[in-house]
């Protein structure tokens, strides 16, 4: 079983993000799981990978060739896949993973999370996805997503696919035990 982690190639403002990335990487390893992530040695990506590696986990990175120098590909991984595009990166990460955990990050992190969540909604996979809500980082996003349900742009069942926990242990427990609903009719007929 492998968990894919989406997170930033920067550290963010708060030291709590670094602590959470390290804790998540160690927790994944201690539970005997592998880690799949963006392949960089910098930022929170590097921290989560190093923490998992320090605990003996298999760590697989997937990095677009164009970003290999900018994001500084990690040299100590179990395996590093170099791909041609961001789309190939997400597809490979999804192929290699059984679930997804999202740490704080920027536009790329959110884009990755939303794409795999969309794939779940459309029935392309039934893999769990969850946000690690470090010090309320995702509170405003969760409020907006709840608004999408209120405004009937997202069905409650699809909203429920995106889990959110503040404790890495609880998040990983849910990611490994939850059944993701597959709804054959995801769009209303006119």
Write down the H helix ranges in the chain: 15-30, 43-54, 86-96, 107-121, 139-150, 156-159, 168-177
Nearest alpha-carbon partner for 167 in 60, 23, 29: 23
Q: How far apart are CA 110 and CA 147, in angstroms?
A: 18
CB 3 within 8 A of CB 36: yes
* Residue corresponding to tokens 């409650």: 156
pLDDT at 190: 38
Structure-model confidence comparison of residues 68 and 175, the more confident one? 175
Q: At what angle do helices 86-96 and 107-121 cross, to 10 degrees?
A: 60
pLDDT digits (tens, 9 = 90+) for 62-97: 999 888 766 688 889 999 999 999 999 999 999 999
Nearest alpha-carbon partner for 179 in 63, 69, 99, 76: 99
Confidence of residue 129 (pLDDT cuts 50, 70, 90): very high
pLDDT score of 189 more than 60 = no
Tell me what the pLDDT averaged over the chain comes to: 93
pLDDT score of 145 more than 90 = yes
Q: How far apart are CA 66 and CA 51, in angstroms?
A: 26
In the chain, % of residues over pLDDT 70: 95
Please give the C-alpha separations between residue 110 and each of 5, 6, 116, 149, in angstroms, as whole numbers: 12, 8, 10, 19
pLDDT score of 172 more than 60 = yes
3-state secondary structure string across 79-121: EEEEECCHHHHHHHHHHHCCEEEECCCCHHHHHHHHHHHHHHH
The fold of 2-177 is Rossmann fold (3.40.50)
Average pLDDT over residues 49-58: 97
User: SS3 for 58?
Assistant: coil
Average pLDDT over residues 156-169: 95
* Residue corresponding to tokens 């998040």: 171
pLDDT at 183: 77
User: SS3 for 3?
Assistant: strand
Average pLDDT over residues 135-150: 97
Confidence of residue 184 (pLDDT cuts 50, 70, 90): low
CB contact set of 5 (below 8 Å; sequence gap of 6+): 24, 25, 28, 35, 36, 37, 45, 48, 100, 101, 102, 103
Task: Judge if pTM exceeds 0.85.
Answer: yes
């Amino acid at each position: 079983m492998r968990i894919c982690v989406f997170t930033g190639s920067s550290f963010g403002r708060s030291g709590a993000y670094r602590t959470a990335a390290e804790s998540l990487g160690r927790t994944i390893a201690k539970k005997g799981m592998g880690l799949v992530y963006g392949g960089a040695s910098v930022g929170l990506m590097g921290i989560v990978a190093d923490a998992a590696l320090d605990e003996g986990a298999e760590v697989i990175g997937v990095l677009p060739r164009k970003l290999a120098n900018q994001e500084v590909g990690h040299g100590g991984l179990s395996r590093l896949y170099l791909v041609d595009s961001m789309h190939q990166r997400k597809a490979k990460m999804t192929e290699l993973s059984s679930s997804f955990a999202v740490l704080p990050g920027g536009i790329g992190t959110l884009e990755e999370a939303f794409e795999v969540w969309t794939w779940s909604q459309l029935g392309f996979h039934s893999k769990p996805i969850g946000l690690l809500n470090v010090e309320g980082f995702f509170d405003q996003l969760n409020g907006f997503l709840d608004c999408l349900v209120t405004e009937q742009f997202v069905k409650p069942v699809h909203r429920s696919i995106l889990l959110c926990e503040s404790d890495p242990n609880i998040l990983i427990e849910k990611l490994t035990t939850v059944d993701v609903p597959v709804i054959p009719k995801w769009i209303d007929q006119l």
